[in-house]
């Protein structure tokens, strides 16, 4: 059984002489070929040495890998991550007076007081407006009434002693307190 579509030829092609075959690749310069051959030989020699070391002295081989990783880890630890600054949270005592300043605003900003701890990140403007007690001006003195932790974040209930919010009580994040 033969397949008619294996080498289809048209009647015009049958009468023509075969065309001269052209080389498909241009010859490469000998220097490039030699350089690649040397690279391959060096790479193969290195791999052979590493394989022999792994088979003959596995403790030395794997110890070398562990040592290289340790050096890399130490270099990253020493020279990496210097740009992040930890926010210092003061040791808070209930009954003491502190300044209210929002550290998330350059130069310090106003502080929002809410009805309950944990509402600081309310994204819905209606909930935020309903839960808000007062907006305290930056630098206003406030007395700490109690502390609480919600979702690993420390909150304090404060009562401003001066300004527009004097006498109102509300919750804010502990990072908004600054020692006087």
Query: For the domain that residue 171 is a member of, what is the CATH number?
Result: 2.30.30
User: Model-level pTM?
Assistant: 0.49
Residues 132 and 60 in one domain: no
Kindly state whether residues 131 and 71 are assigned to the same domain: no
CA distance linking residue 148 with residue 118, whole number of Å: 9
Query: In terms of domains, do 43 and 106 share one?
Result: no
Q: How many structural domains is the chain composed of? A: 2
For residue 150, the SS3 value is strand
Domain match, 170 and 112 both? yes
Between CA 166 and CA 143 the distance in angstroms is 10
71 plus 117 within the same structural domain: no
Q: Is residue 22 part of a domain?
A: no
Answer yes or no: is 19 within a domain: no
pLDDT of residue 8: 57
Same domain, yes or no, for 58 and 102?
no
Quote the pLDDT of residue 43.
82
- Judge if 51 and 102 occupy the same domain: no
113 and 57 in one domain?
Answer: no
Is 122 contained in some domain?
yes
pLDDT at 162: 92
Q: How far is CA 77 from CA 13, 50, 69, in A?
A: 72, 29, 12
Check whether residue 112 and residue 157 sit in a common domain.
yes
Q: Are the C-beta atoms of residues 144 and 125 closer than 8 Å to each other? A: no
Determine the pLDDT at residue 65.
Answer: 92
Name the DSSP letter for residue 95: T
Q: Are residues 174 and 108 in the same domain?
A: yes
Quote the pLDDT of residue 112.
84
Question: Which residues form the domain of 119?
Answer: 97-178
One domain for residues 105 and 167: yes
The answer to whether residues 138 and 102 touch, using CB atoms and an 8 Å cutoff, is: yes
Task: Give pLDDT tens digits along the chain (180 positions).
Answer: 555 555 555 555 555 555 555 555 555 566 777 777 777 888 888 889 889 988 998 899 899 899 999 999 988 888 876 666 665 655 788 899 999 998 888 777 888 888 888 766 566 778 777 788 888 999 899 999 999 888 888 899 999 999 888 999 999 988 888 887
61 phi/psi in degrees, rounded to 5: -60, -55
pLDDT given for residue 125 in this prediction? 77
6 occurs within a structural domain = no
How confident is the model at residue 30, as a pLDDT? 65
């Amino acid at each position: 059984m033969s397949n008619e579509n294996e080498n289809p030829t048209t009647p015009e092609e049958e009468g023509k002489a075969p065309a001269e075959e052209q080389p498909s690749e241009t010859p490469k310069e000998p220097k490039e070929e030699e350089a690649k051959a040397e690279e391959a030989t060096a790479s193969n020699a290195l791999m052979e040495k590493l394989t022999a070391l792994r088979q003959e002295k596995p403790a030395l081989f794997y110890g070398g890998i562990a040592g290289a990783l340790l050096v890399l880890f130490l270099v990253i630890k020493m020279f990496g991550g210097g740009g992040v600054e930890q926010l210092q949270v003061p040791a808070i005592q209930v009954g003491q007076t502190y300044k209210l300043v929002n550290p998330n605003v350059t130069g310090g900003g106003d502080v929002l007081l809410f009805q309950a701890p944990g509402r600081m990140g309310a994204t819905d403007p209606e909930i935020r407006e309903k839960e808000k007690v007062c907006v305290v001006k930056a630098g206003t003195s406030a007395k700490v009434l109690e502390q609480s932790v919600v979702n690993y974040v420390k909150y304090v209930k404060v009562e401003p002693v001066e300004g527009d919010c004097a006498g109102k009580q509300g919750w804010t994040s502990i990072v908004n307190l600054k020692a006087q």
